[in-house]
Amino acid sequence: MELKKDSNAVSIDMQLIVHSEKRRAAQGTHSDRQADPGALLQRRGGFQGVANGIRKWQKIEAHDLHGHLAEKQHPQQPQVITAYDNQGTQLTVEVHPRDAVPQLLKKFSLAKSLQGDKNGNTKPRQPGGKDAHAYPWDRSSLKSMPLDLRQFEKLDTYASQVTVKSDLDELVSDLVQEAHSDLERVRAIWIWICHHIEYDIMAAQEKDCQAFKPTDILRTQKTNCDGYAGLFEKMCRIAGVQCMTVPGYSKGFGYQTGQSFSGEFDHAWNAVYLEGRWHLVDSTWGSGLVDKTTSKFTFLYNEFYFLTHPALFIEDHFPDNKNWQLLKPPQSLRQFENSMYHKSEFYNKGMLSAHPETSMIRTVNGKATVTIESCAPTLFMFMLNGKQEHGLLSLRKNGMKLEVYPPTMGTHNLQIFAKGSSDIYSSVLEYTLKCNFVDFGAQLPTELHQPVGPSWFSEQMGIMKPSHPDPIIHTSDGRCSISFGVDEGISILASLHGDDGLITEETQRRYIFQLHREKRTELKVQLPHAGKFALKIFVKKRQEPGNYIFVFNYLLCCTNTKVNWPMFPESFGNWGQDNELLEPLSGVLPANRNIPFKLKLQGIAKALVKGQDTWPLTLNHEGYWEGSCSTAGCQEVYVMVLENANHNFYSYILKYKVNAQ
């Protein structure tokens, strides 16, 4: 090309790319993801060729090599010109201010990580030894590279708010404006897809290929896993980052514990090349979840599937090519099928390990035991066949222990949930239980809720130094006394529950008598008969409105069939927190007897016992109110107090029943 020299001459840098007509035609058959950079420029507009090699030069709104939309030209903006001659030679010329850096060189430096094959198409490097991570997981990080997620806060907010565009190149150009590295470019693309693209269940079931096309995805904002992976790959390549789509098997929607995998692959995800190494992402699972019962998709961002550590990714992703496991040693399909499936929330909520490490458990003497180790104190719950029954779950400082007693022989489903720092319990583990023996002696009360026994959580709720740290209390005579320290301003409520129907909602607190001594609360418990009972403990801050909150329960066990304790006397609202009853403790008194009374009552001017007649109680030198009363001729006996000596109104604090003659 000859340029006429004159006073208005400009500096011209030329990027000359020469292709034969035959080769250029062949390149036109490649998919967009492998398109030749020069061909992309030609297809997106510019200059139309005419005969004799003469060109009509016109201003264009061009796309750069990676799909970025160039701004309309102005005096300081470089001009890109592309043309072909009759022999198929492609000429790309860039005109820019004398001291400016050539834009084409900038674009090629942006794509420095992209290799070219002999035809000029991008060819990502295949994974090798330096990409592999050790298996099993070393617990060091959930990610495959060091990340501080706080560094993405500004970028995440920006990317999630970028509006949908009809043109993919324009969308990527907008997204990467605030990105300053390949990692940030990938992060911006990931965040945008996870917050804007909905999983199309219908398309996934019908395998609608139209749902895979980026233009259709942007239009409908819906797609299936292939569409997610294809869109992510396309956007990364436009941004100048190597990315591959990886097909394979997955333990996703519809997965059944222990199932085998065969036939065509059911999922697709991506590998992205950052800082000299391949990393794994799944934007489908990062965007939300499908409800099993309604088959509806809900946006619920999941950070776990961004640059996931390969030793964790393999738990629910098995690629078609073992090299894409990025593991050393790689896992076999059989290992993938039999390995324990820890859901993403298992790791999101700080779990480290679980035992057993297989998804199927066989009971031993009618019992199955599961333990979980966590990096911080965590609340757990479980469901056996959809019900919170037939198990003892005790919390540990860093984890939990669960003992399950299936009520019938056969196959059972066990789900374990964790709460973490949120207010929502999420499913973290699922086991299949095989039971060939039922221990009927281990049947547990239906009302035995979780957790069982005191723990870090009860301490957090104001209950300290329990007299019984173990969750199970055995009593030979049907009585026990349990005490613990209580924080200032905390009220305690306890109730007893059994399965025989003898303990009703009205009487479930009458088998417990509560005493307070020197910042400790004592619960005296009398069982109505032999058996197993749940003793529930609730707390409430005295100065705050609302209901009592369940904290934990004990399992009380008694095998003595002679046990037949009556209820304690009924107490009323004026029974003070620091009052103490020494006798009589039975809520049912014999008829026609003189019954001694002994109580410690705080802030009382006078006290009396009222039956058929009235008997005053006197205050002794030890601070106890003492006296006696006859039960002759009455059905009920009351303890009454006068709080102010200047008043004459007595309040009821205790009520006893008298046996019929």
**C-beta neighbour count of 387 within 10 angstroms:** 11
Is residue 282 part of the annotated active site? The answer reads yes
By C-alpha distance, which of 469, 34, 518, 13 is closest to 243?
Answer: 34
Tokens in use for 281?
């992402």
Residues sharing a CB contact under 8 Å with residue 297, sequence separation 6 or more, in sequence order: 198, 199, 200, 201, 288, 289, 290, 291
Q: Which helix (H) or strand (E) holds 652?
A: strand 651-658
Question: Which 8-state DSSP code applies to residue 605?
Answer: S
Which one-letter amino acid corresponds to residue 436? Answer: N
Is residue 225 part of the annotated active site? The answer reads yes
Question: Which 8-state DSSP code applies to residue 127?
Answer: P
Residues sharing a CB contact under 8 Å with residue 157, sequence separation 6 or more, in sequence order: none
**C-beta neighbour count of 472 within 10 angstroms:** 14
ω into residue 329 within 30 of 0, thus cis?
Answer: yes
Q: Which of 226, 282, 342, 480 is catalytic?
A: 282
Report how far residue 325's alpha carbon sits from residue 302's, in angstroms, rounded to the nearest whole number. 21
Report how far residue 271's alpha carbon sits from residue 233's, in angstroms, rounded to the nearest whole number. 9
Q: Which of 267, 279, 309, 412 is catalytic?
A: 267
Reduced DSSP (H G I as helix, E B as strand, rest coil) percent helix, strand, coil of the chain, to 5: 20, 35, 45
Tokens in use for 59?
């201003």
Report how far residue 301's alpha carbon sits from residue 283's, in angstroms, rounded to the nearest whole number. 10
Report how far residue 120's alpha carbon sits from residue 506's, in angstroms, rounded to the nearest whole number. 83
The residue count for the chain: 661
Is residue 226 part of the annotated active site? The answer reads no
By C-alpha distance, which of 127, 123, 99, 102 is closest to 111?
Answer: 123
Report how far residue 368's alpha carbon sits from residue 433's, in angstroms, rounded to the nearest whole number. 8
Strand positions, DSSP E, 451-579? 463-464, 472-474, 479-486, 490-497, 512-517, 520-526, 531-541, 549-558, 570-571
Rounded alpha-carbon distances, angstroms, from residue 487 to 376, 459, 461:
23, 9, 9
Q: Name residue 271's beta-bridge partners.
A: 244, 280
Q: Which of 19, 156, 225, 316 is catalytic?
A: 225
Residue 232 CB burial class (10 angstroms; 0-12, 13-18, ≥19):
buried
List, as one string, the DSSP characters of 100-113. SPPHHHHHHHHTTT
User: Which amino acids are annotated catalytic?
Assistant: 225, 267, 282
